[in-house]
């Protein structure tokens, strides 16, 4: 009997870490279901993966919508026969200090960053149990360390870390592993946008802002999306068969440094 091609579902797959993760899964022989709000870049990436000999489908969906997430999960199962890995990567960065953050912004951030992951995981879990699969949540160093004025963002990322721990605890005996990756700054469209804002505040350009943000980083630079993707795909694979409930810092060492010492 020929083994089925493993399938990975990646949310927020159109750009940045999600796109790099989809490419990395395809490189490792996975079929990939691409989920995100924008159809055009998803279709372009699916075509690119198919042209390179892989299998991929595009499933435009808002992860905050139970109906749309359900349709995306169903499409992956119908096309590829099951799900071996779910990567909850979809997210937004809008946030503010608590007294300045409107309820609407709090609810939007939590609905996309955290509730979206809850919905996707809940709907994918029966299929992951069937194939003894894995969940990887893309959290952030700000799921562990507070950032300045980023209330809902930090809270949502902390929730992703704990969501993975809960899934690991509750479903490990059924063969499912769940972990989080916690990136620092990454050169993505979202990271570039934030660096542009930082640069304007300090009268410097984007590259100067990245340098400023990494003065206390041991490696002295932001990550490339592919460097995060490689960790995600590792955690989803059987090479990480005894890793579950973990939050892996992928931040160039920033979280190892005491900022008060300098």
Question: Which two tokens mark 217?
Answer: 């980083």
How many whole angstroms separate alpha carbon 183 and alpha carbon 137?
11
How many whole angstroms separate alpha carbon 250 and alpha carbon 131?
28
How many whole angstroms separate alpha carbon 19 and alpha carbon 6?
18
Closest-CA residue to 91 (of 21, 169, 176): 21
Question: Which two tokens mark 3?
Answer: 């083994």
CA-atom Rg of the chain in angstroms: 18
Annotated active-site residue in 30, 153, 171, 210: 153
**What are the E-state strand segments in the chain?**
7-11, 31-36, 56-60, 85-88, 134-138, 177-183, 247-250
Cβ atoms within 10 A of the Cβ of 112, count? 21
How many whole angstroms separate alpha carbon 128 and alpha carbon 70?
15
Question: What DSSP assignment string belongs to 129-172?
Answer: HHHT-EEEEE--GGGTS--TT-HHHHHHHHHHHHHHHHHHHHHG
How many whole angstroms separate alpha carbon 81 and alpha carbon 94?
36
Active site residue 210: no
Is 194 in contact with 244 (CB distance < 8 Å)? no
Query: Which residues are known catalytic residues?
Result: 153
């Amino acid at each position: 009997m020929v083994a089925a091609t493993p399938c990975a579902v990646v949310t927020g797959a159109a750009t940045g870490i999600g796109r790099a993760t989809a490419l990395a899964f395809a490189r490792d022989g996975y079929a990939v279901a691409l989920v995100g709000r924008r159809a055009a870049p998803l279709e372009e990436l699916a075509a690119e993966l198919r042209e390179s000999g892989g299998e991929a489908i595009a499933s435009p969906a808002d992860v905050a919508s139970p109906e749309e997430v359900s349709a995306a999960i169903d499409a992956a199962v119908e096309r590829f026969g099951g799900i071996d890995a779910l990567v909850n990567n979809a997210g937004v960065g809008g946030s503010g200090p608590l007294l300045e953050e409107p309820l609407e912004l709090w609810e939007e951030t939590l609905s996309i960053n955290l509730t979206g992951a809850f919905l996707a995981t809940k709907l994918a879990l029966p299929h992951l149990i069937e194939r003894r699969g894995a969940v990887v949540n893309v959290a952030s160093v700000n799921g562990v360390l507070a950032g300045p004025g980023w209330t809902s963002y930090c809270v949502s990322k902390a929730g992703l870390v704990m969501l993975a721990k809960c899934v690991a605890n509750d479903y490990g005996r059924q063969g499912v592993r769940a972990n989080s990756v916690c990136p620092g700054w990454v050169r993505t469209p979202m990271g570039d946008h934030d660096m542009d804002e930082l640069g304007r505040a300090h009268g410097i350009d984007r590259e100067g802002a990245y340098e400023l943000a990494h003065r206390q980083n041991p490696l002295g630079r932001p990550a490339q999306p592919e460097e995060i993707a490689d960790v995600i795909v590792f955690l989803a694979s059987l090479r990480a068969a005894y890793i579950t409930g973990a939050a892996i810092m992928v931040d160039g060492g920033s979280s190892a440094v005491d900022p008060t010492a300098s």
